[in-house]
Every structure is written in C-alpha cells, then in structure tokens.
Structure 1
Amino acid sequence: MTTPALELVEVTKIFQKDKEKVKAVDSVSLSVSKGEMVIFLGPSGCGKTTTLRMIAGFELPTSGRISIDGAEMTNVPVNKRGIGFVFQNYALFPHMSVFNNVAYGLRSRGEVDSIIQGKVNDALALVGLANAGNRYPNQLSGGEQQRVALARVLVMEPKLLLMDEPLSNLDAKLRIYMRTEIRRIQKKLGITCLYVTHDQAEALTMADRIMVMNKGRVEQVGTPYDLYSQPQSLFVADFIGQANILKVPVTGIHGETVQAAMPGGWVLSARATIPERIEPGKNASLVIRPENVLVVSKAQKEGHLPARVMSAIFMGSHIEYHLDLGDMGSLIAFSSFKPGMHIFNEDDEVSVVLDSAVSMFLPA
C-alpha cells in the first residue's frame, strides 16, 4: 500500500475567544496521494486556512494527528516539515533583486553559489521569468510577483506545496491565466499541492479533488465532477456552481429513484444521491442546475411548469432567466445564446421544462 503524501486524522482546532471556546476545525480527516492537487474550498470562516496552517505547523491542533510521507508531524516545528508555503501577500523582499529573492532560502540553508545559480535559474525559467533575475519587485506586475513567490518556494524542493488564496490580489483576467500556470507547473513537477480558496471556479478548474468545508467540518471530498453531479448535501449542491432547490412532496421511492408530485398532477422521477434519507409522504429537495432548465412558450402539457419571467439578463454566452413559479418558489435558467433566437421579456408567461435525467433529490 502506497504511503500517503499527507494524512489528517480527526484534526480539531479550538480557539479561546474572549470567554468562549470556538471550534474552528472540527474532526477533519483527509488522505492525499503523492502528486495530487487538493483544494480546500468553502466560505470565509469555514476553517480551511486554519487547517492549512496546522499542516504547515503555524498552528498546533487541539487534538488529532498530522502525518507527512508517513512520518508523524503533529508537533514538529515548521522548518522541520519539508513544506513550502505561498502566502496571499507575496512577501517579497523589496530591496532584493528577483534572483536574490528566489535564492534567499538556499543561501540560508548554506548551499554553495554554483548550485544556487543553477537552481534559481531553473526555477525562474519554470515560472516564465528566465530574464527577470536582475529586476526588483516594484518593477514587476502583480502576476509576475506571484510567480517570483512561487519560484522562491519551488526552488527549495518541498515535499508539500501549500498555497493560501494566492490569486486573490490579482484582477479577474490575470487570475484565470495564473490558475492555468500554477496547475501546469504543479503537474510538470509532480508536486503534492494543497490550495485554499473560496473561489469555486479556481477549485473546479485546478483540482484533482476538492474538500468542501463548512463551519469547521468537511461536507464532502471528491473530484470536481463528482461534487457537481453528485453532491451529498444541500450546502455542497448550492456552493459548487449554481443550483435551483425546490421543495416537493415525495410520493414514492424505488431504489435510487425518487418520485414527487408536481403542480398539474404529474409525477417527476429523478435519482437521489442519498435515497436512504428521503421518506415518502415528506418533502425532499429537488436540485437542478440552471443549464438543465428549458424555458419555452407557455403550454398546458404534462411535464411543463407554468412560470413568469422576472428578468432576462444577456450574459453573452447565454440568457440568464429569473423565473417565478408561484407557490413552488423561483428558479434560474440558462439558455445558450444563438443569434436570432427568441428571448423572453420581463412578465412574459412561459413554461419551464426540467430535465429529470440530470435532476437529483436530496433530503429537505
């Protein structure tokens, strides 16, 4: 059996705040394979950064165990863990050249100049800054500074690369470019990487697996595809991408298929990700993504829900409809834009068709 690059077992962190104890991280367990990129995703205050800081050694867990490459690291000092940390702020030395910023850790470790020269040049080439060694941080763009910070960590050849919201200070277009670059470098080196973000687009496009956290606990761990298509809780369904959640009465359960009564007397059948927690005669949550909602002209047909257009927003690639379903609530629909297509207007009476093949039921 292969030894995990990282293993967390029931890791918990309790802070004393005024006279109260606050459980910032609650019994988090995780196993990370060598060369894997795992992203910690969740809203502010969910415990993802505290978990990362405990892995790094900046915080000690109240209880639980942390292992790196099979070695117990729970109480080992930061400098003995073999990790590299890229912070939200780049923390570059302004009075040092790019070369000397990257070389700093190697010099502190006592490596000879000839070795340092080769390693720094290789690291700068890897991050696309081969000709920037003589420049200073104030002569670089935000994206270039972030790449210097990354090179400074990579040159130390860490066992684990930890990154805490490294792109949050960049503009939207540069963030998209840098997340592609970071993923390229991580895969090329085969380095194990843990990455904290609250940005779901970063998580979905970069991760091998995502650990979704909420209120200090792990909601679900899985591939981006699994989390999007098979969420195990309403929190995950709503946090990963956009989701419409409608409360509907359950009329029957057949294996993993749940049936629910819909307005107009027809029955909708769709899969359930946790069928054992859904009961006939009670409400369940019908989860459907906006791209799987079809908006058509008003018609009295089985499988159609009457709706009123509250707004129609042109997003370039699609029209975003906000729809009123009356007593059922509201939902959002994305209709792919094609030149010449009919676009419904505010207050238009329409019908909504739900794609049951990609809808799912979760406990209410």
Structure 2
Amino acid sequence: MTTVALPTHTREIHLAARPNGAPVATDFALVERELPELTDGQILVRNTWMSVDPYMRGRMDDKPSYIPPFELGAALEGSALGEVIASRSADIAVGTTVSHFAGWREHAVLDAATATPVDLELAAPQHYLGALGTTGLTAYAALTEVARVEPGDTVFVSAAAGAVGSVAGQLAKALGAKRVIGSAGGPVKTRKLLEEFGFDAAIDYRAGDLAGQLTAAAPDGVDVYLDNVGGEHLKVAIEALNQHGRIALVGAISGYNGTTSEHTPDLYLATTKEATLRGMLVTSHLPRFAEYIPKAAAWIADGTLRTTETVYESLDQAPAAFLGVLTGANTGKMLVRLP
C-alpha cells in the first residue's frame, strides 16, 4: 500500500493593501505558509475550484458592513470547492468533495462543521459555486420571495450576462414571466443573452440611452426588476416600473469602487407607483438550499437552465480574475481552477 505524503505548506492570496478606488494587482500578495496540524473534528481540503465575486470588493475596505472586512496581511476568503485529503472527523471521510468558505488558498484546514459535502453525481463540481451555489440561490430567492415573479410579468435584469443575472433571466421564464429583458455590456454579451440564455430582449448599456432602450424593449412597462448594478440602471428601472412593481436590490456594482453616480433614483416616483424596493442578502435565504438545489439540478439536466463559466487557471491568477469580474470581463460565473 502506497502512502501519499500530505502537504505541510500551502499558498494563499493575502490582502496586501486596501484599495483607493479600483483595486490593482499590488493590493494582493501570493504568500506561502505552513499548514497547522489537524485537531479532532477537523479536515484538510485540497481546493480545486474557487469563486471570485463582486461583493468581495466591499470587504477590502475597512468599514462596517453585513460581513467583516478582509484583514490586511491575511488570506482573503470566499466560496470554494475541494477534496478532503485528511480527516479527523467522523462525519466527513477522506475523498469527499466539499464546499466551504476558505477560498483564495490551495489547501484549507477546516472544522468539519463548516464544510458541506456535495453530490457530484447530481451535477459537475463547478455548478456548486454557480447555479447550485449562492449565485443561483440569490437569483431564485430574489424572484420567488424578494420581488416575486407572477405569471405574465415583464422582468428586467441588469448585469444579465453575469453570474446571478444569467441565472435570474432563465429562472424568470421558468416562473412564468411573459417577457424577460436583460442589460449587458457590448454586442457579444447581448447576443449571448438572446441566443444562449433565452432572454426576449437585450439592452447594450454601453450604447447609451439606457432609458430609451428599456422603453423600446418594455413598451408596456416593467413589473419586476432585479438590480445588480444600481446607479442609472436603478433610476431608469423605477421610471419604467408599473404600478405595484417590485424591485430586488441584489447588488450595486456601479458604485463598489467608491464612485458616485450622477443618476439619482427618483424614490418619490417609486412612492407614487406604490412600488416595493427590497434589499436582499443571500445569507438570509440559506435554508432554502434544500428546496432549491434539486429544482436547479433538474433544470440544468433538462436544459431549462443553461450555465456558462469564465475560468482562470491557478491560484496566482485569482487577483486577475477578481479584477476582471469588477470590470465585466466574465460571462456567467467567474471561477478559478486550482490544479
């Protein structure tokens, strides 16, 4: 019997400096460090996939939020998937694939209670960081609870070629929406919305006249808006909203680098339309995973839900992947594969 030596060291991406405006490569550092020995109830995971997401930009600033900021000189963190290569837990065996929150590193020592085994017979591993992960759950909870889609609705989704948006548009159709409109940057992405993700209309926000484009795409108004962008997108969505329209405030990537939008949403107009604007954090909806994952896996299997990923290779490319997701370099989910 051959015994495989376990690693004693690993590589991590640390936050080297807090950004001033848009992050740059020198805000990150690739660091090698010694792995601690396992104690009872712990597992050692070799990460195979990790996620980079826009919300991480907020954690780079040292200010209060719904989640603590990243620490300077310490590893960043985020959703990841990996294989258990050593275990001192009776609950998770060696060889199990688990999802967890210790990304941005090649190996992670975790308390077994913080890792969730995933079923690779149900779906490919990367889906658990995308359509079957918090990305997909965000879209699902937004459209079934936060801004509920009713049959016959017209739905507008911003950042529609991104991870949450591309799933949301397809789920809106599955939930009975009559018309689904997506906004994305550039003709390549807008074409994907129509040809790959099944949107009924696509708006290229880089072409200008966002309000005019939305009016043309939704002449009868918008019933539900899933906002990933904020700024001008939120302003024109309120203007296009029908009476009793619903808006799910999921993200505001247009302002993540501290930039101030010149477009101020007209909240009084929202008042006169008796609109609902509700913020959401996916962490408040995690109990719905048990309901969502079987549905989403079936949708993926039968083609109702199509997914795509933009993949960077190796840990040292993780900062570039993150900078890319902030500038819209991805179509679908932005992932880093760790060989």
Q: TM-score range by the shorter chain?
A: under 0.3
The structure in which a higher percent of residues are strand is: 1
- Please say which structure displays the higher CA radius of gyration: 1
Q: Higher relative CO (CA 8 A, sep ≥ 6), structure 1 or 2?
A: 2
The structure in which a higher percent of residues are helix is: 2
TM-score by length of 1: 0.25
TM-score by length of 2: 0.26
